[in-house]
Structure 1
């Protein structure tokens, strides 16, 4: 509640009220500084506000591995909730204080806490979950993000908070979830894996396991025995050292897990999910819906994304990761190809708009059960404890960086070649299909405290020869 939903909420909330906010910025700068913005300056300032959110995400996703190991998962989660709270307060107060600076700072801090949540939530939940549920925990981040986006879309309607009087309440509305999370913070356990393998405090690790699994639980005894064995191995193994980004990059053993994590997170953004939603209103208008109906249909498409996130829970728990990714990527490629053709035909055959709607919904479905959740969890299962935080953080940094690249380049590409911009996304997903089929090791059922399984080690030399 304090990390995943505000993450998605902040990501999606800025689009609907942007014209209202830009009008307020012009008035605020004139009233406070007697500055008159021309059209180019206004666009530049707005681009800075949008980019600062993504820039904060990149910074947040790359800053934390060392802090998480030194501070602990639970304490760092508390710090992130405090960041989120401060961001919400700044955004809520920007209109009242008539301060553009508060809006800018609030959006940057929103990106910062969202970037931290991208890797901290999967790391923390994966380490406290029972063995059978660890893969499922990786789905909670994209599920919460999708829910946050839909909530922001609904509240952003002009019949609710998308007005001149209420836009600041819309931007900072996620503060309700953060406040609830802070109230529950005292009840959160620390990760037993962190205590056993990072902090080297087995007594506290034992206490946390008893709290999580129940006193005298056989499952707690089994997990504690496994963690003690892993802790003993760490004393002499290569994971006994403190891992930095350079160490992971130079390691031959973790080259394939790192490349897999980076490519899957980049491929998630370059699959074109944001571009598809960009075209959603146009597609629904082409089918004869008015503006309000089109907005409602776009919210419906986002709701389908949330439903697919819920359905992904049993899929991720029982299905192989490679199969989920491959079928998801194939579905994304085929549905975007159909969408591209339908968009070209609509001017000549208006009924093709319904084919475009079907293709859009098919893309959302295909994306939701594989490419949406799996990249957030695969690093958790590929890396052992030592380099795990670095691996997850590098995946998050790649995800946010790719988001920034797509956000900056897609409007320009779309302006020049229109619907054919989907060709780039189709090509990206097709290349990712080949990589997943050739190199991705299966991680279903992998012990979270162990080193990469033999399949990673077996596929590593293949990758080295190929590269």
Structure 2
């Protein structure tokens, strides 16, 4: 009898210690097959570019007995690069429907199959003498990343308890930064960045996809999806206990039920999100902070970094190793963001870092203009690039992953993520296409466009954006109602919520 009681208490102790680890483990698993893929392919494609262009030229000559003009090779290469953004745009547009129809978990699992198919095409492209397979593979990678970029954030945000929501959701940004860093690392010529290994380099996405495909089935569906969308109270309670540890979790469940009663469970579409007055300022915030994040200029600064490093005396062959330093800096800042976001709040991190980003762009414009005048100026530019990367990750890069989950209630969230994802991919495509022309026209003053955005975003965040730290969805909704309605209407809304 004593031994049975001893074993019972041991089991209870082990459960109380092991079960809370499920949320960090789910965070890791979702990151591996989620936004890690997005970051990986942003940086990975740069390393084998000259080998792929050479492969295109050789393949065309073998097929048709003629050598391609360099401009034609560059056009085909541009199609390969842009196919990723086109696929990403498509993936972001369908993620809302898929996440509601199949659920967060199943959609994420099915999404891995797209990445594996893309990797298979990449791996066999050289043997099949088909650069078209690379184009199709990049397109499939884009769909996978477009779905993951939104779904990963939605899934992990809905699985996090209110007190840890910011810290947990910022791991999405960490996965992007880590993926970008790994793209730089495995793309080094000492590893897979050689002419012999480039097909396997492009096919490496199969590894994280397979890891997630095998491990994710052991974790539960989003508790909020189970309760609000499916009405499964028992499933929701079981999921919360598995993720957060034993207990009733009655407060969190009650908040979900209140949200379901007040807002309703019918899923809203894109049109509802755009025209509904009750989410007007949430939508404006989403567009300015999350949808327009490409206007900060982080990818443009990365583009300019190689010239800055070379002017500082760093050989072109060593520039990829300096890029590793930028990637490591970005990872460190996301770790700092996860530490500060639930202490300082979203609003403070945003407006302070927008100001720092604006000042950094101003100084960077000045140092780039004067880099031929003073020999030490390129070193200052290098320092500013690292400061810019640090401020981006600590502020908008990390916080923008958290906000969509907190701005919208369950019924609007899929449509909100679809719009955010579409704008991010569209911005990535437009900036990538237009920035070389902007840089050619404005020279060292090409960052002015990004500078204006950072100033405007800082003013908007400081003056208008409500704080969402440690607040339930209904409390956040009440804050935005003060912006969406007149004072009298807000009182009526409170009265309705009280009666319900």
Query: Shared fold by TM > 0.5?
Result: yes
Bigger CA radius of gyration: 2
- From 322, 325, 328, the counterpart of 2:353: 328
Candidates 258, 281, 292, aligned match of 2:283 = 258
Change beyond 3 A, Cα 1:110–1:165: same
Structure 1 residue aligned with 2:375: 350
Residue equivalent to 2:478: 454
Whether 1:436 aligns to 2:441 is: no
**Maintained 8 Å contact 1:286/1:350:** no
Deviation of the 1:291 alpha carbon: 2.0
> For the residues of structure 2 that align with 1:274 and 1:396, how far apart are their CA atoms?
17
CA gap 1:30/1:441 in 2 versus in 1, 3 angstroms: same
Q: Which residue of 2 aligns with 1:465?
A: none
**Which residue number in structure 2 is paired with residue 25 of structure 1?**
56
Instruction: Give the counterpart of 1:224 among 253, 261, 266.
Output: 253
**1:95 partner SS:** coil
Match of 2:129 among 83, 87, 98: 98
Quick one: distance in 2 between partners of 1:346 and 1:84? 43
Aligned partners of 1:122 and 1:137 also within 8 Å: no
For residue 451 of structure 1, report the CA deviation from its aligned partner. Answer: 7.1
Q: 1:68 to 1:340 in 2, by over 3 A?
A: same
| Aligned with 1:52 (options 67, 83, 87) | 83
| 8 Å CA contact 2:126, 2:199 repeated in 1 | yes
Distance 2:346 2:467 in 1: 6
- 1:32 shift after superposition: 3.5
Aligned equivalent of 2:397: 372
Q: CA deviation at 1:212?
A: 2.1
Task: Please give the alpha-carbon distance, in whole angstroms, between the structure 2 residues aligned to 1:27 and 1:336.
Answer: 42
Compute the displacement of 1:351 (Å): 0.8
**2:111 aligned partner:** 80
In structure 2, C-alpha distance between the alignment counterparts of 1:117 and 1:323, rounded to whole Å: 28
What's 1:67 paired with?
Answer: 98
CA distance in 2, matches of 1:393, 1:316: 24
2:449 maps to what in 1? 424
- For the residues of structure 2 that align with 1:110 and 1:21, how far apart are their CA atoms? 17
Question: Is the Cα–Cα contact under 8 Å of residues 87 and 139 in structure 2 kept in the other structure?
Answer: yes
* Worse overlay, 174-183 or 107-116: 174-183
Show the counterpart of 2:3: none
* Aligned residue number for residue 240 of structure 1: 265
CA deviations 1:439-463 (Å, max 9, x no partner) are: 2121112224x4743221112258x
Alpha-carbon distance in 2 for matches of 1:55, 1:289: 35
CA contact (8 A) 2:121 2:137 kept: yes
How far apart are the structure 1 equivalents of 2:79 and 2:485? 44
Query: 2: CA distance between counterparts of 1:278 and 1:134?
Result: 33
Report deviation, 1:214.
3.2
Contact 2:223–2:237 at 8 Å: present in 1 too?
yes
Residue 74 of structure 1, CA deviation: 0.6
Residue aligned with 1:347, SS: coil
**Structure 1 residues 295-343: Cα deviation after superposition (integer angstroms, max 9, x where no partner):** 2112111210111111111112222211111111111111111111111
Answer yes or no: is the 8 Å Cα contact 1:267–1:432 preserved in 2. no
- For 2:198, which of 151, 160, 167 is the aligned residue? 167
Residue 3, structure 1, aligned to residue 34, structure 2: yes
Taking only aligned residues, the RMSD between alpha carbons, in angstroms, comes to 1.7
Map Cα deviations across residues 103-161 of structure 1 (whole Å, 9 max, x no partner).
01110011111111111011100111122221122212221111111111122122221
> How many Å separate the matches in 1 of 2:483 and 2:257?
29
Gaps of 5+ in 2: 1-31, 487-500
Aligned with 2:154 (options 112, 123, 144): 123
Q: Does 1:141 align with 2:172?
A: yes
Query: Counterpart in 2 of 1:341?
Result: 366
User: Is the contact between residue 20 and residue 164 of structure 1 (CA under 8 Å) also seen in structure 2?
Assistant: yes
Structure 2 CA distance, aligned partners of 1:455 and 1:207? 31
Alpha-carbon offset, residue 180 of structure 1: 1.3
Please tell me whether residue 315 in structure 1 is matched to residue 336 in structure 2: no
Task: Give the TM-score normalised by the residue count of structure 1.
Answer: 0.93
The 1:90–1:266 alpha-carbon spacing in structure 2 relative to 1, beyond 3 Å, is same
1:26: how far off? 1.3
Contact 1:446–1:453 (Cα < 8 Å) also in 2: no
1:293 aligns with 2:318: yes
Q: Which runs of 5+ in 1 are unaligned?
A: 463-467
Distance 1:225 1:437 in 2: 32
Q: Deviations over 1:41-85 (max 9, x none)?
A: 222211111111011111111112122112111101101111122
- What residue in structure 1 maps to residue 388 of structure 2? 363
**TM-score, normalised with respect to structure 2:** 0.87
* Matched position secondary structure for 1:437: helix
**1:306 and 2:331 correspond:** yes
Is the contact between residue 441 and residue 459 of structure 1 (CA under 8 Å) also seen in structure 2? no
1-structure distance, mates of 2:427, 2:53:
26
Query: Is 28-37 or 392-401 further displaced after alignment?
Result: 28-37
Q: Secondary structure at the match of 1:240?
A: coil
Shift of 1:177: 1.6
Q: Which residue of 1 aligns with 2:419?
A: 394
- The separation in 1 between residues aligned to 2:123 and 2:284, in whole angstroms, is 40
Give, in angstroms, the shift of residue 35 of structure 1: 5.8
